[in-house]
Amino acid sequence: KAGVTQTPRYLIKTRGQQVTLSCSPISGHRSVSWYQQTPGQGLQFLFEYFSETQRNKGNFPGRFSGRQFSNSRSEMNVSTLELGDSALYLCASSLERARDEKLFFGSGTQLSVL
Amino acid sequence: GQSLEQPSEVTAVEGAIVQINCTYQTSGFYGLSWYQQHDGGAPTFLSYNALDGLEETGRFSSFLSRSDSYGYLLLQELQMKDSASYFCAVRSPFSPLVFGKGTRLSVIA
């Protein structure tokens, strides 16, 4: 079974541009979460989707948005990029949203904003 | 909201035992998870504790004390390949999985 696939793997943008990141979850998984990872800051929660519905949203500005499609694939968009948005963006999927559900992470998209 | 505290760095000798602590504050609590992430890699699930006590999986063990809002990850017979970052994470009602800032473990010869 294929793992979580994130594209692109690397991305370089300039300030003010917008970017769309894609995530394909493990087949059969209906829950997708997005996290931002920066050195020393751990994994900061961005969004959580389940069956196309946003279940939770983290404490990020409105420039960060996301969505989930009927096939469970998910995208996140960042508009008007800032230098501070440079980070590794991780997507994770799980079957459901059970208490003991473990997340399966993709390798991430490394975004650099110049 | 939730908050988690774990040491930022730990260094240990190959073959030794190391303990990575995690304290948490959360309103409502389902369980504590641990994830491992090697440099340049994706975080991978290690363990989950919902009840007090020790869970053992091979060389790795995880402990939880709900009354103390405290848990730890114990790594035995350390190997060089165990050098990685380790994250604790809490699951609470109606909340996503929230991670600590991670502990970077360096295993030295």
Nearest by CB to B101, which of A40, A99, A105? A40
The 10s digit of each residue's pLDDT in A69-110 is: 999 999 999 999 999 999 999 999 998 767 677 999 999 999
Share above pLDDT 90 across residues of chain A, in percent, rounded to a whole number: 88
Nearest by CB to B42, which of A41, A99, A105? A105
Residue ranges of chain B whose CB lies within 8 Å of a chain A CB:
8, 30-31, 33, 35, 41-45, 48, 50, 87, 91, 94-102
**What is the band of A56 on the pLDDT scale with cuts at 50, 70, 90?**
very high
* Mean pLDDT over each residue of chain B, to the nearest integer: 95
Q: Give CA–CA dist B83/B32, Å, rounded.
A: 22
CA distances from B81 to A20, B75, B85 (A): 34, 12, 11
Average pLDDT of span A28-48: 93
Pick the residue of B2, B99, B101, B103 with the most A CBs within 10 A to test the interface with A by mutation.
B99
- At A65 the pLDDT is 97
Residue closest to B32 by CA, chosen among B95, B93, B83, B98: B98
**What is the band of B1 on the pLDDT scale with cuts at 50, 70, 90?**
confident
- At B91 the pLDDT is 87
The 10s digit of each residue's pLDDT in B58-93 is: 999 999 999 999 999 999 999 999 999 999 999 888
Say yes or no: A40 contacts chain B, CB-CB below 8 A: yes
Q: Give CA–CA dist B66/B45, Å, rounded.
A: 21
Q: Are A41 and B91 inside 8 Å of each other by CB?
A: no
- At A39 the pLDDT is 86
Pick the residue of B66, B97, B101 with the most A CBs within 10 A to test the interface with A by mutation.
B97
Average pLDDT of span A16-34: 96
Say yes or no: A30 contacts chain B, CB-CB below 8 A: no
The 10s digit of each residue's pLDDT in B25-45 is: 998 888 999 999 999 999 999
Nearest by CB to A33, which of B35, B96, B101? B96
Q: Are A99 and B87 inside 8 Å of each other by CB?
A: no
Size of interface A-B (CB pairs under 8 A): 54
Residues composing chain A? 114
Average pLDDT of span B48-53: 94
Q: Are B86 and B78 in contact (CB under 8 A)?
A: no
Share above pLDDT 90 across residues of chain B, in percent, rounded to a whole number: 86
Query: Judging by DSSP bridges, how do beta strands B9-13 and B103-108 pair with one another?
Result: parallel
Minimal-distance CA residue of chain B relative to A47: B96
